[in-house]
Amino acid sequence: MSTAPSSDLFLDVRAVHKRFGENVVLAGVDLAVPHGSVVTVLGKSGTGKSVFLKCLAGIVTPDSGEIRFAGRSLDADDAVCRAEFRRRCSYLFQNNALLDSITALENVALPLEQTTQIPNREIRERCLEALRQLDLEKHRDRYPSQLSGGMQKRLALARAIVTRPELVLFDEPTAGLDPLRRNAVFEMIVKYQRQFGFTAVLVTHDLPEALAASDQVALLDRGSMRFQGTPAAFNASNDPTVRAFRDSTDALKESIAALRRGENVNTENDL
């Protein structure tokens, strides 16, 4: 598995393990994230991608392993170190996690109100600027339920970037969206990552979009990272696990053709 030199890494994950009872979810996961890059962790549903991202964010505590951020180890017992990480990092939840009882502007203001001592006037100015940058300023007094799905995604991103983070973690940002909206979300992430300069880590199973949008991709399978490298290297890989995930559409076409010919096809192992 190819990785960037350690001196270039903004986030360096080594041998992270996590289990819930007898269920081993992560069995020694590594990930190298260069500064200013978009890195996407791919994998089938249920492979532990979201658990891995929550371990990075400190929402879930790994059983063992090391996570280094900007050259410093994120020890779960080091409250100062963890607080510094939370100040420099944002997390965009799969379901956006917007509060329907408050307006768009108030949603964006929440992280500044809860984590800083910034005066209310400056908070308002920064929130309006974040909404303006994502073309949402005219919707500032609307409630999330009054916004389209795409607007809600942009609102969640506005809330994530209003603290001016250096790292943004995206948990299945296109879950439940149709292909056109999936494309729009990936375009949005790349556009604003370039505009604001943050480092991005995404987890998804949307392969074509991830390959188009990412500087590097990684494949999580059966608790370990089977591949990390550029999209071109992923497309050229002969690793059986990579090929099975990458070429699943071609495999589907072959299976459907075989079924139409009346042949027996076993699909149970993939479910």
Contact between 89 and 166 (Cβ < 8 Å): yes
| pLDDT confidence of residue 48 | 93
| pLDDT tens column, 47-104 | 999 999 999 999 999 999 999 998 888 876 778 888 888 889 999 887 888 999 999 9
| pLDDT confidence of residue 240 | 92
Asked whether residue 271 is assigned to any structural domain, the reply reads no
| pLDDT confidence of residue 45 | 86
| pLDDT confidence of residue 249 | 62
Non-local CB neighbours of 152 within 8 Å, separated by 6+ positions: 96, 98, 144
Contact between 58 and 87 (Cβ < 8 Å): no
Write the DSSP assignment of 69-82 as a string of letters.
ETTEE--TT-HHHH
Asked whether residue 86 is assigned to any structural domain, the reply reads yes
Asked whether residue 197 is assigned to any structural domain, the reply reads yes
Asked whether residue 142 is assigned to any structural domain, the reply reads yes
pTM of the predicted model over 0.85: no
Give the span between the Cα atoms of 51 and 183, in whole angstroms: 24
| pLDDT confidence of residue 268 | 53
| pLDDT confidence of residue 144 | 95
The CATH number that applies at residue 248 is: 3.40.50.300
Asked whether residue 62 is assigned to any structural domain, the reply reads yes
Asked whether residue 244 is assigned to any structural domain, the reply reads yes
Question: How many Cβ atoms sit within 10 Å of the Cβ of residue 224?
Answer: 17
Give CA 80 to chain center in angstroms: 25
Asked whether residue 255 is assigned to any structural domain, the reply reads yes
**Structural domain containing residue 109:** 6-264
The residue among 102, 149, 150, 111 whose CA lies nearest residue 130 is 111
Asked whether residue 270 is assigned to any structural domain, the reply reads no
Domain count, the chain: 1
List Cα–Cα distances, 36 to 39, 118, 155, 190, 201, in angstroms.
10, 27, 22, 11, 10
Tens of pLDDT along the chain (271 residues)?
545 545 578 999 999 999 999 999 999 999 999 999 999 999 988 899 999 999 999 999 999 999 999 888 887 677 888 888 888 999 988 788 899 999 999 999 999 998 888 999 999 999 999 898 888 999 999 999 999 888 898 899 889 888 889 999 999 888 877 888 788 888 888 988 998 899 999 999 889 999 999 999 999 999 999 999 999 999 999 999 999 999 876 665 666 666 676 777 665 555 5
